[in-house]
Structure 1
Amino acid sequence: MFGRVEVVGQVATETALVGVPVATESVPAGWPSPAADYFDGDVDLNEHLLVNRPASFIVRVAGDSMIGAGIFDGDELVVDRSLDPVDGDVVIAVVDNELTVKTLHLGESGPELRPENPAYPVIRPATDLRVWGVVTTCLHHLHH
């Protein structure tokens, strides 16, 4: 599979505050902490995940061309269409009239869309490169 994406939908411009409790302690990835259960209010996930809400979309990944970047088949990406892409950004680009997710590289020989899986080729657009949006967050679900 080419590593396509499908647009799931635009993030609503008017949403209610979605409060999620925030722990005051970091969670160790090594040995467990003997710290007590302390929470420090709520965080609004809309505010935390979205740079520009009216220009934000959620897309679902189909394929494995970006596994080296930690983006897997079925993951959902938060995409901001108002951001200007820079070298090294993960972007949603239009290739052959289809959306694809790749890492943007801007070199002297022109722009490239690089997969993060060596099984896939680098894409060097023959015409102008159309970047649909910049990926800001990957929602990788761990519990199925």
Structure 2
Amino acid sequence: MAHVSNICLVDFAPPVAHPLLAPVLVAAGYPSPAQDYFDGTLNLNTHLIRDVTSTFVVRVSGDSMEGAGISDGDELIVNRALTPRDGSIVIAILDGELTVKRLLLKAGGVVLHAENPNYPDIEVPDANSLTVWGVAETCLHDLRN
């Protein structure tokens, strides 16, 4: 099961501008002839964080969400101000622990769905008994590993 192993406040130090190439789309097949075209800078704080006061970064531990592109050790940008919707990836509190799952709203209740067939769905018959801690907005996946 994928659990949350760390919670960090987002550091909103002075923004650092990173070079942005235009077009922003990068070819995954053949290289683009426009690959050397520089188009200013991109501030990652303003690009990734919508609500400074309710945004946290959590580190994932486990592999139950691999089908959603979330791997062990990834970090999720989580917004606690967002209203969870059907299909949202949420941080939920189960048995006193934080876990990462896809929220499915069904007629018979709520399902916390793992995106790995090795893990069963968690059915929550009474939605009022479930606490959603926040909604994941972005997954930071380290490609160096």
Q: Which amino acid aligns with 1:18?
A: V
1:24-43 equivalences in 2 (<5 Å): 24-25=22-23, 26-43=25-42
Greater CA deviation, 114-123 or 30-39? Answer: 30-39
Give the aligned partner of residue 15 of structure 1. 13
1:17-96 equivalences in 2 (<5 Å): 17-25=15-23, 26-96=25-95
Helix, strand or coil for the counterpart of 1:88?
Answer: coil
Q: Percent identity?
A: 51
Q: Distance in 2 between matches of 1:68 and 1:78?
A: 18
Q: Distance in 2 between matches of 1:62 and 1:17?
A: 29
Cα displacement (A) at 1:24: 1.0
Aligned residues: 142
Q: Which amino acid aligns with 2:66?
A: I
Gaps of 5+ in 1: none
Cα displacement (A) at 1:41: 1.1
Q: Which amino acid aligns with 2:82?
A: L
Q: Distance in 2 between matches of 1:8 and 1:113?
A: 21
Gaps of 5+ in 2: none
Change beyond 3 A, Cα 1:110–1:126: closer
TM, length-normalised to structure 2: 0.92
Q: Which amino acid aligns with 2:134?
A: G
Cα displacement (A) at 1:34: 2.8
Helix, strand or coil for the counterpart of 1:35?
Answer: coil
